[in-house]
Amino acid sequence: MKQKGTIGVTTENIFPVIKKFLYSDHEIFLREIVSNAVDATQKLKTLASKGEFKGEIGDATVRVKVDKKTITVSDNGIGMTAEEIDKYINQIALSGALDFIQKYEGESEDAGKGIIGHFGLGFYSGFMVAEKVTIGTLSWKEGAEAVMWSCDGSPEYEMKPCKKEDRGTVITLYIGDEEKEFAQKQRITELLNKYCKFMPVPVIFGKEQEWKDGKYVDTDKDNVINKVEPLWAKKPADLKDEDYKEFYKTLYPMADEPLFHIHLNVDYPFNLTGILYFPKIKNN
C-alpha cells in the first residue's frame, strides 16, 4: 500500500539545522550510516542467540559503494517493516538501537554488545551531503513486505512497497553538487579508514588492487576496510611491547615511535578500555 505523509518533527526548520548546524563536520555522515548498518547485523545476531530468529544469518557484512553521484550502504541485518520506519525514521529523534537494548536489558550481558547507535538523528546526518535519500528494506520477520522510503530533504516523504527479496537494508544517498567531493572513491576510502577501521563486522568497499602493467587494477578479492583487530580488546598480559608499537604504526604510519603507552582496562565505577599513547613532540 502506497503511503505519503509528513515526517514528525518538532520544528519546520529541522533540515536546515541538520545540514548546517547539527554537526560541525559533514564527513561524519558516513560513520553514522555505516554504524546503523553494523547495528542491524548485530541485532540479528542477538535475535539468533535468543532463538527468536531461526534462519541463516548468512553474509554478515556491510558493503559501501560509490557510483558517480550516489553512495550506497547495504547490510543483511534485521531490516525494517513499514511500521518500524514510521516509528524510527518518520519520527525524528527516536532511537531504534536504544529501544532494542532496553528490550533485552538484563537478559544477557551481550544483548546490546556491539550496537553503536543511540541517537535517532544519526540517519538524518546523511542529508548534510545528500539532496535525496532512499531506504529499501525487508524485515527479518516472517511475512514482512519490502518497503521503499524516500525523501528529498524536505519534511515530505514517500513510502511504498518494493520488490526487494533479500533481508536487510540498502540506503542510497544522492550527493548534492556542493558536496560532490564525497562521491569520490578516494574520499570515501579516507573516511572509512578514519571512522570504520574497528567496526565489529566486516565493512567492504570495492575490491583489493594489485599493480599490473604499470597501473593498479581490481582483483577478485573484497577490500575489507576493518582488518585490524583492536588491541585494546585484548588482555595486557597477552601483549608484548612490540605489539603496542606495531599497532600504533598501523594507525599512524608516518609518525615517530611513541614515548610510552598505558593500556586502560577499567570496570568500576564505569567500563572503559583503551590504549593511551604518548607521542613525541618536536619543538624548534
Measured between alpha carbons, how far is 77 from 139 in angstroms, rounded to an integer? 8
Mean pLDDT, range 273-284, rounded to an integer: 85
Task: Report the pLDDT value the prediction gives residue 11, as an integer from 0 to 100.
Answer: 45
pLDDT over 90, % of the chain: 52
Task: Report the pLDDT value the prediction gives residue 23, as an integer from 0 to 100.
Answer: 55
pLDDT tens, 25-82?
788 899 999 999 999 999 999 999 999 999 899 889 999 999 989 999 999 999 999 9
CA count, 13 A, side-chain hemisphere, 35: 23
- Higher pLDDT pick, 282 / 120: 282
Task: Report the pLDDT value the prediction gives residue 26, as an integer from 0 to 100.
Answer: 83
Measured between alpha carbons, how far is 227 from 244 in angstroms, rounded to an integer? 16
- Higher pLDDT pick, 172 / 273: 172
Mean pLDDT, range 119-140, rounded to an integer: 86
Read off the pLDDT band of 282 (50, 70, 90).
Answer: confident
Task: Report the pLDDT value the prediction gives residue 17, as an integer from 0 to 100.
Answer: 60
Which one of 168-172, 191-195, 233-237 scores highest in mean pLDDT? 168-172
Read off the pLDDT band of 15 (50, 70, 90).
Answer: low
pLDDT tens, 246-263?
999 888 888 899 999 999
Residue 55: DSSP 8-state: S
Contact status, residue 120 vs residue 100, Cβ threshold 8 Å? no
- Higher pLDDT pick, 132 / 92: 132
Residue 254: DSSP 8-state: T
CA dihedral 17, 195, 119, 124 (to 10 degrees): 40
Task: Report the pLDDT value the prediction gives residue 132, as an integer from 0 to 100.
Answer: 95
Backbone angles phi, psi at 13, to 5 degrees: -100, 25
Contact status, residue 175 vs residue 57, Cβ threshold 8 Å? no
Read off the pLDDT band of 117 (50, 70, 90).
Answer: very low
Measured between alpha carbons, how far is 281 from 49 in angstroms, rounded to an integer? 48
Read off the pLDDT band of 131 (50, 70, 90).
Answer: very high
Task: Report the pLDDT value the prediction gives residue 154, as an integer from 0 to 100.
Answer: 81
Mean pLDDT, range 106-110, rounded to an integer: 53
Q: Which amino acid is at 152?
A: D
- Higher pLDDT pick, 220 / 120: 220
Task: Report the pLDDT value the prediction gives residue 88, as an integer from 0 to 100.
Answer: 85
CB atoms near residue 272 (< 10 Å): 10
Measured between alpha carbons, how far is 200 from 130 in angstroms, rounded to an integer? 27
* Residue-averaged pLDDT of the chain: 84
Measured between alpha carbons, how far is 93 from 88 in angstroms, rounded to an integer? 8
pLDDT tens, 186-206?
999 999 999 999 898 999 999
**pLDDT value at 96 more than 60:** no
Task: Report the pLDDT value the prediction gives residue 121, as an integer from 0 to 100.
Answer: 62
Measured between alpha carbons, how far is 261 from 282 in angstroms, rounded to an integer? 18
Q: Which amino acid is at 83?
A: E
